[in-house]
Each structure stands twice: as structure tokens, then as C-alpha cells.
């Protein structure tokens, strides 16, 4: 499946993680669309998505750290990867975010969940092949219209949605030198979702490329959730924003702390 750049780009800014869903079942055409995207958006060999049409309330663990639990969704998607592949986390992040953006464009809501799910239960609902692992899941459904008090607590009354400025996360070129595609790609990457909103990425720039790397310095503690997966999410945003203005590129995967380099096609 080719990336529907304008469809996904349009919802990058609007998307929010949602944790309270209402009673409506997804409409047939919405279900059909999201199932088809799960089947067909397979940009990399190591990652695939599995749509599970069961209400997942009991799949989510209770309150852990900053997170409350997620309630009322009607289905979930498991983001699965081959744990032996060296770029598995970034590839799962990139693929999963494509599906998250397509869901948003289909009027369905989502929330990446990296650690706070019952792994054995999810594994039993997903037909895992040898060496495969579920890296994250997302609930699928229609979110309640407004954030209720509980959900506002879970988002830290907006804190969990604040983002670092690009001057903190970019190196190599001055803002005034950025070509248009780069500016749009970086702005899209800046607002990508990440586990506990830690935005664990750095963008190293030269005229024809953006290199995504893991930013380790400011982390106070190692989290069990992978920073590379979040970098994969930012990569998808870079790609979509560039394509939306007619610029395509190639991804080259790098060794840690590098993640991947997007070089524009000439
Ligand atoms: C890899 C990953 C794992 C996440 N895990 C959880 C989780 O376990 N529980 C949860 O409620 N939110 C989880 N989130 C959602 C983040 O908290 C959220 O994306 C971030 O605070 C930014 O907010 P926004 O998505 O509304 O822009 C996760 C996000 C990512 C990308």
C-alpha cells in the first residue's frame, strides 16, 4: 500500500491519544477501511499489524506511573515485529503510526500503549509466528466527545501534549536554511506521539537528508518502553510531510544511537 500522504498529513496535528471511548460500535465502512490498512500497510519486512475485534478493556493494566487505564474501546490493533530484526522497533513504530493516522482520518480514535497491557493475554489473541513479539497495541473506537476529568488527569491537564521546540532537537543547519520539505517534515515530527511524551529523538540535518537519532542525555531513568519505537513514529511523520509536498526519499537504517536517515530522491 502506498502512503496516502495528504490523507495522513491532514490529521497529524489533530490526533490525540484518547483513553475513554463511547458505546458506539465502529461503522462497517470504518471497520473495513482500518482492517484493510492493517493488512496492506506493510512498509517493512519485520513489522505487521493484527486487528483484534474484541473489546480490550481487560487487556489494559490498571494505573501504572502517569497512566490510568483505557476504557470502552470496541477493538484493538497489535503491532507485531520480528524480534531478531535489528531495526524492528523503528519499523514497528513507523508502520503503527501509519495505521494510527489512517484510523484518525477514518474518524476512529487511538492511543499507543507500549507497556501497560497484559502481554500473555494479547499474545493469546494474536497468532504470533516464531521470533515475533507484540511491541505495542492501540485501542480502536470512537472517543467520548469531550475529555472527562479522569482523562484530563491522565494527560496531565495538557502537559502530556506539550512538545519540545525544534531548536532543542535539531542540529546541523540553521532554521533559515531549511528547505520547505525539511521545515514541514520537522514540524510534523515534532508533534509525533511518544511514550510518556518524552520525545526521545534528535534530528541531524544536512541539505538533502534528516538523520533521526535517539536522544539519551536528558532521560533520568531507563524505561522499558523503547525509544527507537518512538523514533520510528517520528520517521513516519517526516516521510508523510515530505511526500505531501512532492518530495520522496529513501530510509537507511543506522546503528545505535543513530536510528535512520531519510535522504531525498533526486
Ligand atoms: C510507544 C508509546 C507508548 C505509549 N504507552 C502508553 C501507555 O502505556 N498508556 C497510555 O495511556 N498512553 C501511552 N502512550 C501515549 C503517550 O502518553 C502520548 O502519545 C503522549 O503523551 C503525547 O500525547 P498525544 O498522543 O495526545 O499527542 C504511549 C505512546 C507511545 C508513542
Q: What is the pTM of this model?
A: 0.95
Q: What is the mean pLDDT of the chain?
A: 92
Answer whether residue 66 shows pLDDT above 60. Answer: no
**SS3 label, residue 166:** helix
Cα separation, 255 vs 68, in Å, equals 35
Q: To test ligand 1's pocket by mutation, which of 11, 17, 64 has the most ligand atoms within 8 angstroms of CB?
A: 17
Distance 192 CA to ligand 1 centre (A): 10
SS3 state at 168: helix
**Ligand 1 centroid distance, CA of 146 (Å):** 18
Look at residue 216 and tell me whether its pLDDT is greater than 90.
Answer: no
pLDDT at 5 over 80: yes
Give me the pLDDT at residue 239, please: 98
From ligand 1's centre to the CA of 238, what distance in Å? 19
Cβ atoms within 10 Å of 17's Cβ, excluding its own: 22
CATH numbers and ranges of domains, the chain: 5-154 (3.40.109.10), 163-264 (3.40.109.30)
Measured distance CA(93)–CA(111) in Å, rounded: 13
Mean pLDDT across 106-114 = 97
User: Using a 6 Å cutoff on CB, does residue 197 contact ligand 1?
Assistant: yes
pLDDT of 224 = 43
pLDDT tens sequence across 217-254: 654 445 445 899 999 999 999 999 999 999 999 999 99
Q: Give the pLDDT of residue 122.
A: 96
Amino acid at each position: 500500500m502506498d502512503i496516502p500522504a495528504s490523507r495522513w498529513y491532514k490529521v497529524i496535528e489533530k490526533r490525540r491519544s484518547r483513553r475513554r471511548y463511547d458505546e458506539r460500535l465502529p461503522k462497517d465502512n470504518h471497520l473495513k477501511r482500518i482492517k484493510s490498512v492493517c493488512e496492506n500497510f506493510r512498509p517493512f519486512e519485520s513489522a505487521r499489524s493484527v486487528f483484534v475485534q474484541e473489546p480490550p478493556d481487560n487487556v489494559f493494566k490498571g494505573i501504572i506511573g502517569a497512566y490510568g487505564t483505557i476504557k470502552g474501546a470496541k477493538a484493538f490493533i497489535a503491532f507485531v515485529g520480528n524480534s531478531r530484526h535489528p531495526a524492528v522497533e523503528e519499523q514497528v513504530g513507523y508502520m503503527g503510526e501509519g495505521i494510527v493516522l489512517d484510523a484518525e482520518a477514518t474518524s476512529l480514535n487511538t492511543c499507543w500503549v507500549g507497556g501497560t497491557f497484559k502481554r500473555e493475554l494479547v499474545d493469546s489473541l494474536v497468532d504470533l509466528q516464531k521470533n515475533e513479539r507484540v511491541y505495542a497495541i492501540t485501542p480502536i473506537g470512537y472517543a467520548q466527545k469531550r475529555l472527562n476529568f479522569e482523562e484530563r488527569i491522565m494527560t496531565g491537564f495538557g502537559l502530556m501534549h506539550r512538545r519540545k521546540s525544534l531548536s532543542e532537537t535539531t542540529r546541523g543547519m540553521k532554521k533559515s536554511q531549511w528547505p520547505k520539505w525539511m521545515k514541514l517534515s520537522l514540524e510534523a515530527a515534532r508533534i509525533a506521539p511518544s511514550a510518556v511524551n518524552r520525545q526521545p529523538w534528535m534530528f541531524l540535518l544536512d541539505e538533502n537528508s534528516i538523520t533521526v537519532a535517539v536522544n539519551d542525555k536528558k532521560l533520568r531513568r531507563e524505561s522499558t518502553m523503547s525509544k527507537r519505537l518512538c523514533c520510528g513514529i517520528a520517521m513516519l511523520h517526516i516521510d508523510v510531510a515530505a511526500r505531501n509536498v512532492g518530495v520522496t526519499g529513501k530510509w537507511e537504517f543506522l546503528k545505535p544511537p543513530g536510528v535512520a536517515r531519510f535522504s531525498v530522491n533526486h
